[in-house]
Structure 1
């Protein structure tokens, strides 16, 4: 089956194309709203600018597929392989990407508001200036991902793996990062106001000039963390481990450090 046949049959009212194989097909800006492409196999397919709103792409093999600028609102991409795919500027609002493989994918500028990314793998993915507001990233793997200036307000990142990730200037207001692994990540100038980092592992993290006002860091591991010029006013640091942390010029006004392990020579506020 080729692109022209799919478009002809779609225009005639057919919607079920599950398990099809497409090789180097050009479906640029095609209208395939609500199409069923579950378990489809795509090889070098161009779907840039295509309308795939509400499409079923569950368990699809879309490795390296060009979906830049496509409409995938509320699409089902669960368990799909999108490794190395181009999803830049793609609208994935409310999409289901649970357990999807997005390793090395380009999601820069994409809209993932309210998307379900629970258990998804995004190792090495690029999400520069991507909107993930309210997204579910519980248990997601984002090791060494580039999330510069990403919007993660109210996102669920519990148990996620963000080791070595770049979250510089990211916005995580009210985000849930409880028990998240952030070892070696960079959150320089990130906004974590009112975020929950309960029992999170932040060992070696760069939080220079970060906004952590009213954040909850109960029992968090902050060994070797760089908090130079960070704002921790009214933060909850009960039982947190701050040994060997850099707190030079940090604002700890009103912070609760009860039971916390603090650097040698530091005076509790």
Structure 2
């Protein structure tokens, strides 16, 4: 189907373009709100700056598509394939993205506020300075993803796989990450205030200089983690495994470390709570 034919049909009120083959089509800057591209093939399409608010892209092939600065507010992208797609500065607020594949995609500065990203695959994707406030990322896969300075305040990362992901300088205030896997992730200088990592895997994770004020790491594994100069004021580390962790110069004032495992941990210059007990 050619661009002119599609636009003419849309102008005439047609919205159903399911299963259409539109490889490499140029719809940049077009207003196509509410269009239905379910199961269509839009791979390598130029969709820069287009408005797809409330559009249906369920199970659509958008591999290598350019959606830079596009508007996808409340769009349905469930189980769509956006591998290696460009979504820099795109607005996906409140979008349905459950099970969507963003492998290797670029979502730098994208807006994903309140988006449903449950079970999404963002392996090796870049989300530098992306806004994921209150986003649902339960059981999501972000292996090796770059979320440097991203905003995830109040996001749900429960049971997500975040191994080797980069969260340097990110805002993770109040996130829920129960049972999440953050092995060898980089959370240097991240704000983890009031975050909940109960039962999480943070083996060899870099938390140097992070702000963990009031965070909960109870029953979590932080074996070999870097917590050098980390602020853990009023943090809950009860029953956590901190063996071989670097806690040098960390602040543990009013922290709960009851029954925590600190075997072979580096506590040089660590400010410990008085009367603390640990295994």
**Pairwise TM-score range, normalised by the shorter structure:** over 0.9
Deviations along 1:110-140, whole A, 9 cap, x unmatched? 0000000000000000000000000000000
Change (3 A) 1:73 1:8: closer
Query: 1:25 aligned to 2:40?
Result: yes
Query: 1:130 aligned to 2:121?
Result: no
Deviations along 1:67-116, whole A, 9 cap, x unmatched? 11000000000100000000110100000000000000000000000000
Query: 1:142 aligned to 2:177?
Result: no
Confirm or deny: 8 A CA contact 1:241 1:260 kept in the other structure: no
Confirm or deny: 8 A CA contact 1:240 1:259 kept in the other structure: no
- Structure 2 portions without partners, runs of 5+: 1-15
Q: After the TM superposition, which residues 153-164 of structure 1 pair with which residues of structure 2 at under 5 Å, given as runs? A: 153-164=168-179
Could you tell me which residue of structure 2 aligns to residue 121 of structure 1?
Answer: 136
Match of 2:116 among 80, 101, 106: 101
TM-score w.r.t. length of structure 1: 0.94
Could you tell me which residue of structure 1 aligns to residue 61 of structure 2?
Answer: 46
Query: 1:68 aligned to 2:75?
Result: no
Q: After the TM superposition, which residues 1-269 of structure 1 pair with which residues of structure 2 at under 5 Å, given as runs? A: 1-2=16-17, 3=20, 10=27, 15-259=30-274, 261-263=276-278
Deviations along 1:211-268, whole A, 9 cap, x unmatched? 000000001110110000000000000011111110000000000114463327xxxx
Confirm or deny: 8 A CA contact 1:124 1:142 kept in the other structure: yes
SS at match of 2:57: strand
Could you tell me which residue of structure 2 aligns to residue 267 of structure 1?
Answer: none
Confirm or deny: 8 A CA contact 2:214 2:234 kept in the other structure: yes
Counterpart CA distance in 1 for 2:25 and 2:187 is 45
- Structure 1 portions without partners, runs of 5+: 265-269
Counterpart CA distance in 1 for 2:248 and 2:26 is 61
Change (3 A) 1:223 1:8: closer
Deviation at 1:5, TM superposition (A): 7.5
Deviation at 1:43, TM superposition (A): 2.7
Confirm or deny: 8 A CA contact 1:115 1:136 kept in the other structure: yes
SS at match of 2:37: strand
TM-score w.r.t. length of structure 2: 0.91
Counterpart CA distance in 1 for 2:197 and 2:32 is 41
| Alignment RMSD | 1.6
Select between 67-76 and 250-259 the one with higher mean Cα deviation: 250-259
Change (3 A) 1:217 1:236: same
Q: Give the number of aligned pairs.
A: 262
Counterpart CA distance in 2 for 1:51 and 1:160 is 31
Counterpart CA distance in 1 for 2:141 and 2:184 is 15
Counterpart CA distance in 2 for 1:29 and 1:6 is 6
